[in-house]
Amino acid sequence: MFRRISILVIGVAFAAGADDAYAQVNAGLNEINGSAAVQGTKAEGSDTFTFATFTGAYGRFLTDGFEVGPQLSIVKAEGVDAVGTINGFAAVHLAPDSAIVPYVGAQIGRGFGQSTTFTDNPWTFGFFGGIKGFVGSSGAIVVQPFWTRSTVRNTAFDTTTHTDNFGVSIGISLFFGQ
């Protein structure tokens, strides 16, 4: 399944534009991103398990290298209901005039679909980085390693558990608006 997703991502990115590749990272630009990731999660005192995450984001470049926006992620593991997070993110693009643009960023947000009688929905924060390889005048293939920590409060026992999520997402971005 993930092989098909990778082929689809590359195909859509090449279809986004056949022009010479050049970066679209400048003030006033908008970005729509869709990505998928297979990630490992390790809770305190447990083994690592794997699941899939699908993410959509909208970003607005406030300057030639600084982008902010909202992000929605849906997480699905086998045999478990889907859950997700709504985050805000900020990213700094390090070579905005290049066809391959490296970037780093941070995110913070809140989970949904995870609360029970004994626990609240988690707060999340994390860091990411990666590259945007531009294809044509309005598209990019995005590869993004990430680390996110979720903090869940157990109201019945007055305890807090931290869960670390890590992995690499692969996606496409479309740029518009300037």
Closest CA to 15 of 142, 169, 137: 137
Domain ranges of the chain: 2-176
Band (13; pLDDT cuts 50, 70, 90):
very low
Give 78-89 as a DSSP string. Answer: TTS--EEEEEEE
Interval 84-108: pLDDT, tens: 999 999 999 998 888 999 999 999 9
CATH, domain 2-176, list 3.40.50.150, 3.30.1330.20, 2.40.160.20, 3.90.650.10: 2.40.160.20
pLDDT (tens digit per residue) in 17-48? 444 555 568 899 999 999 987 777 777 787 77
CA 11 to mean position of chain CA atoms:
20
pLDDT tens for each residue of 154-167: 877 788 888 898 88
